[in-house]
Amino acid sequence: MESTMKEIRGGASVLDMDPKSTVGGGVEDVYGEDCATEDQLVTPWTYSVSSGYSLLRDPHHNKGLAFTEAERDSHYLRGLLPPAVVTQQLQENKLMNSIRKYQVPLQKYMAMMELQERNERLFYKLLIDNVEELLPVVYTPTVGEACQKYGSIFRRPQGLYISLKEKGKVLDVLKNWPERSIQVIVVTDGERILGLGDLGCQGMGIPVGKLSLYTALGGVRPSACLPVTIDVGTNNEELLKNEFYIGLRQRRATGQEYADLLHEFMTAVKQNYGEKVLIQFEDFANHNAFTLLAKYGTTHLVFNDDIQGTASVVLSGVVAALKLIGGSLADHTFLFLGAGEAGTGIAELIALEMSKQTKAPVEETRKKVWLVDSKGLIVSSRKESLQHFKKPWAHEHEPVKDLLGAVKAIKPTVLIGSSGVGRTFTKEIIETLSSFNEKPLVMALSNPTSQSECTAEEAYTWSQGRAIFASGSPFDPFEYNGKVFVPGQANNAYIFPGFGLGLVISGAIRVHDDMLLAASEALAKQVSEENYDKGLIYPPFSNIRKISANIAASVAAKAYELGVATRLPRPANLVKYAESCMYSPIYRSYR
Ligand SMILES: NC(=O)C1=CN([C@@H]2O[C@H](COP(=O)(O)OP(=O)(O)OC[C@H]3O[C@@H](n4cnc5c(N)ncnc54)[C@H](OP(=O)(O)O)[C@@H]3O)[C@@H](O)[C@H]2O)C=CC1
Ligand SMILES: CC(=O)C(=O)O
Ligand SMILES: [Mg+2]
């Protein structure tokens, strides 16, 4: 080591050198960092006020060429930037041009992540102004591929990693995060990333992506958002063997060891950020998801997006679709492929809403809803062996082994895919469904696109243009027999940003099912006649900030009504209040 250093410095030992010497060229090495040998300790000095060079490298404050002449003078930026001064709009146009030139979605994703790390406000301006174009880049489907390759594309940490190594020190880890006023945490343990399975620590792409939507779609300040990945290992053998894997190289901890780390995390969050921080559970496997939600639902402000957010968005789509397919909710029969978090979560909210509408007990309305899992139709003869969340759906019926058999036996009017398995709505299934429904409602919820139960083209073609179709990941409009069909996106991204904003602005301390119903209703109300004419059951994402403000207002109103809101007095106009709280990505002027 020493001999290498001597060669570099022309033979003089670094230890003999005057630390202030500039003989070697360059500026004075005030801190002695350049003179230190590789085994000597140095202090990572930094400035506490962002200015000059460090301002350009601070993503929260950087504006690049948009710094004004006055700002360049007062913030020591002269010479650090070329002379041109441009507008934020011009910066946006330039970046959109270059992002559009990338053919590979993952390149677009990486360009967006690089922008987020370089200039946060510009990132959010792009995302807000071009939401329909960029949502598939920062969110499903591309975020799925990004998680699969996260180890290779990882540049900088974008959230907190809490692994088993941090057991006993989780509170200290939270304190390492640079922001103090956290309002929303999205946390995953990476075990069920979209329909892609266990991606371990690489699941971090999901909390990062969800929180960027919290800001862009729901207006929660980026500094108030904290992405967290809990790393208890992975059972994904390929990742364990992959030299670029960034997580713990061990099989998943389970049982008490798992529960203890999660409990330490939940306790530390409340201790560090208080009672009103929202913890959104995301992409946990169902054997943990239901337990965590039940366990912490009474002590923390928790929300499971896959169970509750998905339920709210799908109920909204179904209610909106009634305008097109006719009848009331209780007139319909629902069949699900997939009886996990999404499937049973949606089923329960549909049954709850039906019960509210008809005044029938929920035990009765559940009978309008049927689910198929990997072993076939869920029926009473299977009850003993079923996981607890499936038991309420074990209705009286003879066993049916697959979805086609179930479609024939149950004759549903609404078919919902929540299995995580692609191409499971076959031609025969859609044709059979269309044989007894004038307008079948088909929702292929599984993400990313590769896992969608069918494509838009398949749904429209096999139903001869009669299906009302929506999917979890977006599909392009499709022309069939001279008519253009526009598929909707049934994705919880419509709900969670506005839902979370509603909780934050009301200072809610608990989530209640009635808030999910309120969010669902608020979303359904935003579907216009023009949307219905195109076969859409969701409003376009281009209006999402207005939609989110309305959802937030409805959720907040419900929080006040239920007595769980702590922000008092209640603002008179909650929509206006929600709008006034929303983050804007427009650059600030610096004094
Ligand atoms: N559009 C949206 O907003 C959302 C979409 N999703 C998507 O939904 C999918 C499922 O998520 P989630 O519910 O959390 O996952 P879970 O793992 O909790 O549930 C999956 C369910 O699908 C069943 N299943 C798996 N393979 C088959 C098969 N070949 N035939 C029949 N059933 C099968 C499983 O059966 P068994 O129980 O027997 O193993 C299980 O009941 C994912 O792809 C996810 O991306 C999730 C949340 C939101
Ligand atoms: C959208 C979502 O939350 C999921 O696919 O898991
Ligand atoms: Mg999810």
Ligand 2 contacts CB of residue 188 (under 6 A): no
Catalytic residue check, 411:
no
| Most informative mutation of 217, 445, 454 for ligand 1 (most atoms within 8 A of CB) | 445
58 is an annotated ligand-binding site residue:
no
Ligand 2 contacts CB of residue 198 (under 6 A): no
* Model pLDDT, residue 403: 98
pLDDT tens for residues 277-292? 999 999 999 999 999 9
Q: Span 153-176, mean pLDDT?
A: 95
Q: Which residue has the tokens 């990338």?
A: 102
- pLDDT exceeds 70 at position 514: yes
Q: Which domains does the chain possess?
A: 52-131 (1.20.1370.30), 141-304 (3.40.50.10380), 309-490 (3.40.50.720), 494-581 (3.40.50.10380)
* Model pLDDT, residue 156: 85
Q: Span 340-345, mean pLDDT?
A: 98
78 is an annotated ligand-binding site residue:
no
Catalytic residue check, 139:
yes
Ligand nearest to the CA of 382: 1
Q: What is the number of the ligand 1 atom nearest to the C-alpha of 286?
A: 18
Strands 334-337 vs 414-417: parallel, antiparallel or unpaired: parallel
* Strands, E assignment, 35-180: 160-163
Q: What is the number of the ligand 2 atom nearest to the C-alpha of 491?
A: 1
Least confident of 52-56, 87-91, 201-205, 429-433: 52-56
Question: Is the pTM for the entire model greater than 0.95?
Answer: no
Residue identifier of the C-alpha nearest atom 4 of ligand 2: 194
CA distance linking residue 42 with residue 45, whole number of Å: 9
Q: Span 469-473, mean pLDDT?
A: 98
**How far is the centre of ligand 1, averaged over its atoms, from the C-alpha of 119 (Å)?**
37
Residue-wise burial string across 66-103, b where 16 or more C-beta atoms lie within 10 A, e elsewhere: bbeeebbeebebeeeeeeeeeebeebbeebeeebeeee
CA distance linking residue 585 with residue 124, whole number of Å: 6
- pLDDT exceeds 60 at position 130: yes
Residues with CB under 5 A from ligand 3 (ion): 282-283, 306
Mean pLDDT, the chain, integer: 94
Q: What is the number of the ligand 2 atom nearest to the C-alpha of 210?
A: 3
Ligand 2 contacts CB of residue 283 (under 6 A): yes
pLDDT band at 33 (very low <50, low <70, confident <90, very high): low
Q: Span 463-487, mean pLDDT?
A: 97
CA distance linking residue 130 with residue 111, whole number of Å: 15
Q: Which amino acid is residue 147, in one-letter code?
A: C
Least confident of 22-31, 120-129, 303-312, 551-560: 22-31
39 is an annotated ligand-binding site residue:
no
Q: Span 50-55, mean pLDDT?
A: 88
Q: Which amino acid is residue 27, in one-letter code?
A: V
Ligand 2 contacts CB of residue 329 (under 6 A): no
Least confident of 143-147, 150-154, 304-308: 150-154
**How far is the centre of ligand 3, averaged over its atoms, from the C-alpha of 111 (Å)?**
23
**How far is the centre of ligand 2, averaged over its atoms, from the C-alpha of 493 (Å)?**
8
531 is an annotated ligand-binding site residue:
no
CA distance linking residue 232 with residue 164, whole number of Å: 6
282 is an annotated ligand-binding site residue:
yes
Q: Span 42-46, mean pLDDT?
A: 66
Listing DSSP states for 53-118 in one string gives HHHHT-TTT--GGG--HHHHHHTT-TTTS-S----HHHHHHHHHHHHHH--SHHHHHHHHHHHHHH
- pLDDT exceeds 50 at position 10: no
- Compute CA distances 71 → 81, 139, 285, 545, whole Å: 12, 35, 50, 31
CA distance linking residue 474 with residue 515, whole number of Å: 26
Whole-number percent of the chain with pLDDT over 90: 90
- pLDDT exceeds 60 at position 114: yes
Residue 480 sits at the vertex; the CA angle it makes with 479 and 483, to the nearest 5 degrees, is 70
Q: Span 207-230, mean pLDDT?
A: 98
Residue identifier of the C-alpha nearest atom 27 of ligand 1: 374
| SS3 per residue for 457-505 | HHHHHHCCCCCEEEECCCCCCEEECCEEECCEECCHHHCHHHHHHHHHH
pLDDT band at 348 (very low <50, low <70, confident <90, very high): very high
* Model pLDDT, residue 25: 47
* Model pLDDT, residue 50: 74
Q: Which amino acid is residue 288, in one-letter code?
A: N
491 is an annotated ligand-binding site residue:
yes
Q: Span 90-105, mean pLDDT?
A: 98
User: Which 8-state DSSP code applies to residue 38?
Assistant: T
Q: Span 360-366, mean pLDDT?
A: 98
* Model pLDDT, residue 154: 86
* Model pLDDT, residue 31: 65
Ligand 2 contacts CB of residue 447 (under 6 A): yes
Ligand nearest to the CA of 314: 1
Ligand nearest to the CA of 286: 1
Ligand 2 contacts CB of residue 341 (under 6 A): no
ipTM of the complex: 0.99
- Active-site position among 63, 210, 368, 558: 210
- pLDDT exceeds 90 at position 89: yes
